[in-house]
Amino acid sequence: MRAPTATATAAAPVTLDLDARLALVGAVMDERLSFASLSFEVDTAHILAADPIPEVAAPLSLTPTAAPCPYPTPIAATLHRARLRLDTAGWCAGQLRDEQGARCLIGVIQAAADSRGQADDACVLLLEAIRRDFPGVETVPSWNDSQRDSRLPLVYLDRAAELAHTRGL
């Protein structure tokens, strides 16, 4: 007699729908996140400052402050102050000062200078800086009045300040 033989039947693969697969992946991820959180707590238990939510300081003030003058010499510093003033208060042509407080090059130098002599010396250097690129210019006011906006007056105040600085004025 023969012994009955068992026939092996292959089990059909189980197919999961989308919700079941998402539930399985969610369970696996929850387990991994729990393990990671526990590992972090164990690894940082000895660190005193490892507070998960650190105390936040008040935000810094974003109010701009005036930068110190880069020029130690008086004429260069006057021209630098004049440039800053022209940039903030505004530029005008045809007059020393307009109703809004904007000034021409001569007006802004006079306002920034400590004395009349200092203003005169600064204007002489400014005219020299302008004449390097515009040799036909007769005066600072005539050149100022021929400009359309403040871009070139600001540039030439910077150039005059550098010129004064290199000469030690």
**3-state SS, residue 97:** strand
**What's the rounded Cα separation, in Å, for the pair 169 and 131?**
19
**3-state SS, residue 86:** helix
Instruction: Give the per-residue pLDDT at 48.
Output: 64
Instruction: Give the per-residue pLDDT at 15.
Output: 85
Higher pLDDT residue, 44 or 124?
124
Q: pLDDT per residue over 4-62, tens digit each?
A: 665 656 677 788 898 888 999 999 999 999 999 888 888 777 666 655 555 666 676 67
Instruction: Give the per-residue pLDDT at 38.
Output: 86
**Is there a contact between 118 and 78 (Cβ–Cβ < 8 Å)?**
yes
Q: pLDDT per residue over 60-78, tens digit each?
A: 667 766 678 899 999 999 9
pTM of the predicted structure, to 2 decimals: 0.61
Structure tokens at 104: 């021409």
**3-state SS, residue 13:** coil
Domain residue limits, the chain:
18-45, 74-167
